[in-house]
Amino acid sequence: MSELIVIGYDDHEAAVKAFATVQKLRDERVVTLTGLAVVKVDDDGETHVDTPARREEIAVSATAGALWGLVFGILILTPGIGVVGAALGGLIGKLTQMGVDNGFRKKVSDLLEPGSAAVVIMASKITEDRFAAAMEPFGGTVLKTSLPEESERELAEQLAGPAA
């Protein structure tokens, strides 16, 4: 089971420091990441995303990268379902089945107001007490949900499309 954790901050600098700490915790094997990003919402409301891949070379499987990109994109960049294509609608439906419901997405959206920032973490393994202790100095608002492994596999298969 993976944990999807979003930690919101009032300013970008605090989020960047927390982001660096999560990377350190990854190196110390306190957390096993399948996705990590820092999101900044500028004063005009535009969203800017930075990931470890932009800062350093990390190895991520194509499936994990695609899954993370999809989860992150739908969670953060799609504020509401509204009118979407059939494929995207199906994927949003799959995320809803996985437990990433509209309520959680709305909480994340509300957290990301202009001038704010967040660290978004998708972890397949986490040592909760050590992680919480390391992140405590940064404060922030923590939102968390779980993604069952079976649902992740189903989503990855759906992303891959029909077998040839």
Higher-confidence residue: 25 or 121? Answer: 25
Residue 14 has pLDDT above 70, yes or no: yes
pLDDT tier at 81 (50, 70, 90 boundaries)? very low
Question: Nearest 5 degrees, angle CA 134-CA 137-CA 142?
Answer: 80
Over residues 80-89, mean pLDDT: 42
Over residues 72-101, mean pLDDT: 52
- Which region among 34-38, 69-73, 83-87 has the lowest average model confidence (pLDDT)? 83-87
Kindly give the residue spans of alpha helices, DSSP state H, lying in the chain.
12-27, 52-55, 62-72, 86-97, 102-111, 128-135, 149-160
Radius of gyration for the chain, computed over Cα atoms and rounded to the nearest angstrom: 15
Over residues 144-156, mean pLDDT: 67
Name, of 84-88, 108-112, 151-155, the range with top average pLDDT. 108-112
Residue 15 has pLDDT above 90, yes or no: yes
- Among 100, 134, 99, 135, which residue's Cα sits nearest to residue 119? 135
The tens digit of pLDDT for each residue in 31-46 reads 998 778 888 888 888 7
The tens digit of pLDDT for each residue in 45-59 reads 877 777 765 444 344
Cα–Cα distance for residue pair 20/23, rounded to 1 Å:
5
* SS3 state at 115: coil
